[in-house]
């Protein structure tokens, strides 16, 4: 009876939403363990207790794939804000830029204390090319700008299924070339522009690094957070984390079906940058992965392939974390600690 009461209490507590979840992530580790349940160990690695709490809270909410895409997008924005908060920032402004295919909104973050011409990160949000927005990743952009002490320029690229492949990649290139052309206006050092993003945004950034190299305007650095890099091969992590860790195998296939028109070759380097003809002479990279993520192995395979091609790479896996931990910068300890470390690497990469 006591165990059943505790289960009901925990369910009610986590179902309240963002404020209750943030409060739970401030509790002692022992209390968090009682709320989260028995430890989860997969392939010899223990799931971080904060991640387990977040997954339990997420499991109590309506499933994303039972909704319309529009409703799913709203859910992603709301969930992201719940764990990201609004970290302090020096200034934020938006600007509409004109691209060859469409007009794009960018959001420009300047950290407190930044003066003079400085490096920048051109950032692309995740969401499987279907979800995500400037708002869903506002917290992580604020966080990175402040902790890396650089400009961050986030891009509101077009989403599928309304705008299928290669729309997101075309928008990424348009934003990159615009930023290089207008860097002086924003006080950005054109020779120290990094490209980066999480998940699908990491793929856009990786492809941009290839295209920039080939066009003679390579970025200075790649900042890749659990990027999908090979849509042709199932690796071990795709199977052992296929369900139950936020990003699922089913959701990944849903994203690809929405973004790729029928007949698209999944080996196209814009879909699978790991399969590009050459990875040589690309910008130095920081590749960040989560231990409990179906994308873990292909992201790490990309890091190893870059290294084998002579590219300077730092690969960092956080064993107990899950996909989306990059957004969890406003709650708990595990996500913010991992992203502070990543911000230090980003700063170092742009201040060599």
Give the residue numbers annotated as catalytic, written as ranges.
199, 293, 323
How many alpha carbons lie under 13 Å from residue 155 in its C-beta half-sphere?
Answer: 37
Among 285, 284, 305, 157, CA closest to 229: 305
- Taking alpha carbons only, the member of 284, 337, 342, 272 closest to residue 310 is 284
Using DSSP bridges, classify how beta strands 151-156 and 103-110 pair: parallel, antiparallel or unpaired: antiparallel
Element (H, E) at 18: helix 18-24
The percent helix, strand, coil of the chain (3-state, each to 5) is 45, 20, 35
CA 287/CA 275 separation, integer angstroms: 17
Cis bond upstream, residue 155 (ω within 30): no
Q: Taking Cα atoms as reference points, which of 15, 22, 153, 23 lies closest to residue 92?
A: 153
Strand partners, 93: 108
Dihedral angle sign, alpha carbons of residues 302, 308, 313, 314? positive
Element (H, E) at 314: strand 313-322
Q: Is 89 exposed, middle or buried (0-12, 13-18, 19+ CB in 10 A)?
A: middle
Distance CA 275, CA 273 (A): 5
Distance separating alpha carbons of residues 226 and 324, to the nearest angstrom: 9
Q: Which run of H or of E encompasses 30?
A: helix 29-36
* Whole-number Cα distances in Å, 251 to 62, 65, 123, 136, 335: 15, 8, 23, 18, 22
- Helical pair 138-148 and 69-84, crossing angle rounded to 10 deg: 40
């Amino acid at each position: 009876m006591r165990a059943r009461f505790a289960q009901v209490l925990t369910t009610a507590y986590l179902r309240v939403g963002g404020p209750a979840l943030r409060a739970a992530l401030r509790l002692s580790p022992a209390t968090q363990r009682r709320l989260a349940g028995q430890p989860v160990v997969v392939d010899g690695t223990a799931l971080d207790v904060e991640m387990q709490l977040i997954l339990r809270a997420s499991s109590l909410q309506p499933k994303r794939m039972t909704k319309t895409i529009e409703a799913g997008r709203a859910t992603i924005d709301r969930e992201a804000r719940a764990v990201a908060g609004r970290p302090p920032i020096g200034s934020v402004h938006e600007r509409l830029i004109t691209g060859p295919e469409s007009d794009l909104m960018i959001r420009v973050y300047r950290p407190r204390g930044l003066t003079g011409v400085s490096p920048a990160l051109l950032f692309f949000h995740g969401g499987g090319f279907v979800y995500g927005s400037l708002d869903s990743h506002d917290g992580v952009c604020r966080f990175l700008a402040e902790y890396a002490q650089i400009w961050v320029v986030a891009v509101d690229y077009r989403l599928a299924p309304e705008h299928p492949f290669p729309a997101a990649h075309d928008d990424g290139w348009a934003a990159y070339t615009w930023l290089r052309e207008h860097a002086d206006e924003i006080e950005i050092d054109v020779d120290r522009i990094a490209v980066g993003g999480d998940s699908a945004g990491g793929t856009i950034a990786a492809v941009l690094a290839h295209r920039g190299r080939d066009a003679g305007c390579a970025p200075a650095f790649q900042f890749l957070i659990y990027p999908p890099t090979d849509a042709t091969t199932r690796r071990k992590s795709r199977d052992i984390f296929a369900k139950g860790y936020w990003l699922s195998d089913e959701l990944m296939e849903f994203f690809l079906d929405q973004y790729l028109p029928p007949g698209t070759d999944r080996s196209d380097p814009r879909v699978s940058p790991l399969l590009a003809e050459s990875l040589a002479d690309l910008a130095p990279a920081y590749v960040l992965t989560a231990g409990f993520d179906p994308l873990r192995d292909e992201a790490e395979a990309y890091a190893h392939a870059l290294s084998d091609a002579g590219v300077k790479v730092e690969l960092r896996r956080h064993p107990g974390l899950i996909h989306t931990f990059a957004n969890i910068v406003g709650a708990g300890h595990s996500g913010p600690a991992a992203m502070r470390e990543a911000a230090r690497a980003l700063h170092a990469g742009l201040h060599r």
